[in-house]
Amino acid sequence: MSIRSNAVENYLFDRIILTFDNLCNMQCPFCYRLFNGEKEGLEQIYKILEECKRNKIVNISIGGGDPLNYLYINSVIEYAYNLGFIIDLDTNCYAFNYNKHFKMLEKIEYVGVPVDGKNAETHDLIRTKIGSFKKVIEVIETINNKVSINTVVTKNNYTELIDIYNLIKQYKNVNQWHIYEMMPLLVRKEYYLKEHVDYLKYKQIIEAIQNEKIKIYHCAYKERTRFHMFVSASGYLYCNNKNNLTEYKFFGSIFDSKNIIKMKNYIGDNENE
């Protein structure tokens, strides 16, 4: 059985998540992106990627607001690839267009997609977007990339985890499944209080799954302070706050080299405040 904690993977300090915080085509009620409305410029993103390279980042994970909303996303992927990064991309799939995006797919290691229900009824309810489940399945069936499935556990879907597993195991390109405990971040706290499910309620369901092809990760929100370093597309660094799980902790601009060191030390419990 391949159930693991994220702690098994030793990518703590060589991976950073590049976030796009101005635009998304969905309004998922559990989303914890900042959506600060700042406009991101392509040249600025290039400079951020160069700074990540100077700071020995190996893996760039590109996430939402959904990156496929941005007309220049192909250029971002191309630039990151030419700098030598391993590239992952998370998308809700709704803006996916094979003719627009097929070239960049060749440069991406993993494509992360959401599956939050066994069918469209549950998934679209949770994602609050009719047709979103259909687009996810279209992407899984269309691309040749390795696919990582992301599931946020809520009261609407925790009893469907076995069914979700039976769905995703049909696809040969799916080899990771991240099962996320909901986070009580920012304005999503009210939704969290309403929909959060304690891990003990679904632990046995996950442990019953036997499959060596798909690596299964349970991602508890308290652990995620140790594994997620973020840089926004406007250049500010942040991570989850270990002392207050309803907030982020900010470290300033990536263009001040001491800030990324401070963030790494904070995550590694070496910060002296």
Q: For position 4, what pLDDT does the model report?
A: 37
pLDDT of residue 90: 95
What integer best gives the mean pLDDT of the chain? 87
- Give the pLDDT confidence of 231-265 residue by residue, as tens digits: 998 899 998 888 888 888 999 999 998 999 999 88
pLDDT, one tens digit per residue, over 70-91 is 889 999 999 999 999 999 999 9
Q: Are strands 215-219 and 174-181 parallel, antiparallel or unpaired?
A: parallel
- pLDDT bracket for residue 37 (50, 70, 90): low
Return d(Cα 39, Cα 121) in angstroms, integer.
Answer: 35
Q: Which phi and psi angles does 194 have, rounded to 5°?
A: -80, -40
Q: Is the pLDDT confidence value at 179 over 70?
A: yes
User: Over the stretch 89-99, which tens digit does the pLDDT of each residue have?
Assistant: 999 999 999 99
- Region 209-217: mean pLDDT is 83
Asked whether residue 148 carries a pLDDT value surpassing 90, the answer given is: yes
pLDDT value at 123 more than 70: yes
* Strand 146-153 relative to strand 15-19, pairing: unpaired
Pick the range with the lowest mean pLDDT from 56-70, 88-102, 164-178, 210-224: 210-224
The confidence score (pLDDT) of residue 7 equals 38
Q: Is the pLDDT of residue 2 over 50?
A: no
Residue 179 to residue 175: CA distance in whole angstroms: 13
DSSP string for residues in the chain:
--EEEGGGS--TTTEEEEE--S--S---TT-------PPP-HHHHHHHHHHHHHTT--EEEEESS-GGGSTTHHHHHHHHHHTT-EEEEE--STT--HHHHHHHHTT-SEEEEE--SSSHHHHHHHHT-TTHHHHHHHHHHH--SEEEEEEEE-TTTGGGHHHHHHHHTT-TTEEEEEEEEP---GGGHHHHHHH---GGGTHHHHHT---SSSEEEEE-TTGGGGT-EEEETTSEEEEE-SS-TTSEEEEEETTSHHHHHHHHHHHTT----
Q: What is the pTM of this model?
A: 0.89
Q: Are 92 and 64 in contact (CB under 8 A)?
A: yes
pLDDT of 33 reads 75
What's the first-to-final CA gap in the chain, in angstroms? 41
CB atoms inside a 10 Å sphere around CB 11 = 12
pLDDT in tens, 44-62: 999 999 999 999 999 999 9
160-184: average pLDDT? 94
Quick one: tokens of 239? 């991570």
Determine contact, residues 168/115, Cβ cutoff 8 Å: yes
Percent of the chain with pLDDT over 90: 59
User: Does position 1 have pLDDT exceeding 50, yes or no?
Assistant: no
Residue 10 has pLDDT above 80, yes or no: no
Residue 27 has φ and ψ, to the nearest 5°, of: -130, 65
CB 218 within 8 A of CB 181: yes
Instruction: Give the pLDDT confidence score for residue 25 in this predicted structure.
Output: 85
